[in-house]
Amino acid sequence: MEEVFRFYLNSRTVSFHKSLELKLSSVDEPKSGYGLFIEPSKFNSQELKNETITLLRISKLITFDINTILALLGDKEEFTSKEQFKRTNDKVKATLRDILAYPGFSRFLTETNLLIIYFMTFQAIHGSYEIPKGIRYYLENVLMSIDVETAMDSIENLAVNYGHYPQIFGLQESLNLFKDLFQDLLHINDIKHLYSAIISRCLEIPEIADTKSQEFCVHSTLVPILDFSNHENTQKNAFFDIDPSNNDVLLLLDTDAVRGRTEKSSEVFISYSPTEDLFSMLITYGFIPCFRGHAQFWTVSFDRSFLRDYNGSGINADLRIFYKWLRINPVVSLVKLENNGRVRWFINDTTPDFEMLLLPFIPSLNGSKSARWAYDSTCHLMFTKIHCLVNPETNEHAPVIAENYRSLIEERESNGDDLIDLPQLAWSLRYKETESGCIQQRHTNSEDAITLLQQEPQQKQDVAEAKLQFTSFFRSFLRYRKSKITKRSTNSKVARMLLKQELEIINNLTEAIDKNSDIFVSDLNVTLDVEPNRLPPLRFLDDCIEIPDNKVALDPICEDPVSYTPDKFTDFFQEEINQHSPFFQDD
């Protein structure tokens, strides 16, 4: 890599400070390979008076995003002849045309994936076609030469234990796509390696989109030399930016980090992300940052089979079906903090997402035996009744409509998707109306349910009891996960790191729960210095069907829609008809 470093520094497209050099990184856990270093003694007194010092100025022309790649391909001067220019461009266009025609490709259409596709195309054709010199050099000497391992390299192994994590499922989907697109052009190992190399080095680089309005846009970009910079939030002393006059990429050193220092060499650290979500960082970059006093996060994705089969005391809901109908993400954010001199993991209960997760654990009203949530196992008849009221001319076909809704709902409840994209008419909530004090019930989404519950006078007590129920549920989940992952052995470095980290979390939280120690962030007198990342998206599996081991298949029974009475599950039937009528209107 030192040869690559010198190649770019000696080019006319990179300006660099004389103090800058490339050496083996000082970060040992994990080993980060090479890193950028500076010698504080090489900064003059005038430079040290400024807030920042420019370490690198990298011409926009040698960075790689979608626009610069297209510009290079469109520049005839990058080719030895017009014939080579036309031949290469025709080949690239034909390849991309086939890719864009791939069924369902639009689901994968992101800037980063397009960047990956371009470089996979270049790798596939570079032996037979001429490609621009800058692209060829970076492809051969950086992307295909670096030693990198991310989750993609061992995705089949990881899927055994973490296939229920949306990020892992997404990687599987991406790998299947790239395998289909390049199956006759690239070896599977090259596909994985290129994906890992690009995804771990991509930066979100701003760019002036309009010089008059000074509006910025952001592009997924590969930046030579800058991509040697390593991540360390607690020792961050530099950041990247652009020169708005020409969109050159700059690496700027915080002068305070070197002012008054005399040691021979100091590593330059940037931040890949201000929030260290350990799961995401490991699968993207191939390492877990050491804990150095600042909050770190881990987003637990609950095994869908565990949710489906859990039947703990006090829970009347099928958690898997409940979360699907109310479109609640079945994940929980954990935080690693130092508290009372000890580093521990806690459940982050301070977010609206956690409030939604608690909904099925809300206790009954005033000690009543009636549960807060009631599931209508014949909700297909509720769908039928509203359908026929919205479309009176279909009344005579009510039995057939009911059977169609029954089949539709059964399929949606049993498939692998994380949400049911139908009106939420399966679960009704019992709550105390604020003004009258009467007990009422209605079908509601998760946001409205939280609003209704927050208006009840015993809301704080109910939340406290719900958290106790959730703790019992979570303790069972930790026991379940430990029994699964301790049986696994793997040759994958990333998988071993994931299993080791999760086992630490399980043992840590299990001990805290069993000792009745504080396990929620709200129990602590702390303010998180960073916010957790956004939760991963809800998962779509399409062809996956989830069937409980103990489920007995029943013959379909089409009950009489006319005899169905919605009053058993809602006091707001007409209001719900008005709310959902657009869904039921026949085209």
Contact 36, 229 (CB under 8 A): yes
CA–CA distance, 534 with 561 (Å, rounded to integer) = 43
Residue 215, token pair as written in the block: 């509006």
Number of neighbours of residue 432 by Cβ within 10 angstroms = 18
| Res 462: pLDDT | 92
| Res 206: pLDDT | 87
- Concatenate the DSSP letters of all residues of 451-495 into one string: HHHHTSTTHHHHHHHHHHHHHHHHHHHHHHHHHHHTT---S-HHH
CA–CA distance, 382 with 385 (Å, rounded to integer) = 5
Q: Which are the contacts of 72, defined by CB distance < 8 A and separation ≥ 6?
A: 78, 132, 134, 135
CA–CA distance, 255 with 264 (Å, rounded to integer) = 16
Digitized pLDDT (tens) for each residue of the chain, 587 residues in all: 889 989 988 888 899 999 999 998 887 654 568 899 998 888 888 888 899 999 999 999 999 999 999 999 999 999 999 999 999 999 999 999 999 888 888 888 899 999 999 999 999 999 999 999 999 999 999 999 998 889 999 999 899 899 999 899 889 999 999 999 998 899 999 999 999 999 999 999 988 776 566 677 889 999 999 999 999 888 899 999 999 889 999 999 999 888 877 677 889 999 998 899 999 999 999 899 999 889 999 999 999 999 999 988 667 779 999 999 999 999 999 999 998 889 999 999 998 899 999 999 999 887 677 789 999 999 999 999 999 999 999 999 999 999 999 999 999 999 999 999 999 999 999 999 888 888 999 999 999 999 999 998 889 999 999 999 999 999 999 999 999 998 777 788 899 999 999 999 999 999 999 999 999 999 998 888 788 888 888 877 655 667 665 554 444 455 778 788 899 999 999 999 999 999 999 76
Q: In what order do the strands lie in the sheet with 248-254?
A: 14-16, 52-58, 248-254, 238-243
Contact 512, 520 (CB under 8 A): no
Q: Cα–Cα distances in Å, from 231 out to 63, 64, 248?
A: 20, 21, 22
Residue 399, token pair as written in the block: 């039995």
Q: What is the pLDDT of residues 538-565, one digit of tens each?
A: 877 655 667 665 554 444 455 778 788 8
| Res 233: pLDDT | 87
| Res 555: pLDDT | 46
- Concatenate the DSSP letters of all residues of 42-57 into one string: GS-TTGGGSSEEEEEE
β-strand partners of 32: none
3-state secondary structure 226-293: HHHCEECHHHCCEEEEEECCCCEEEEEEEHHHCCCCCCCCEECEECCCCCEEHHHHHHHHCCCCCCCC
Residues in the chain, total:
587
Ordered domains of the chain (ranges, CATH): 2-61+223-275 (2.170.270), 64-199 (no CATH), 296-533+564-584 (no CATH)
| Res 558: pLDDT | 52
CA–CA distance, 33 with 459 (Å, rounded to integer) = 53
Contact 580, 391 (CB under 8 A): no
Residue 405, token pair as written in the block: 């809704």
Q: What DSSP designation does 525 have?
A: S
| Res 31: pLDDT | 53
For residue 30, say if its preceding peptide bond is cis, omega within 30 degrees of 0. yes
| Res 554: pLDDT | 46
Helix (H) or strand (E) holding 429: strand 427-432
CA–CA distance, 117 with 126 (Å, rounded to integer) = 14
| Res 33: pLDDT | 80
CA–CA distance, 334 with 353 (Å, rounded to integer) = 12
pTM confidence score: 0.89
| Res 107: pLDDT | 81
Q: What is the pLDDT of residues 117-163, one digit of tens each?
A: 999 999 999 999 999 999 999 999 999 999 888 999 999 989 989 99
CA–CA distance, 223 with 218 (Å, rounded to integer) = 14
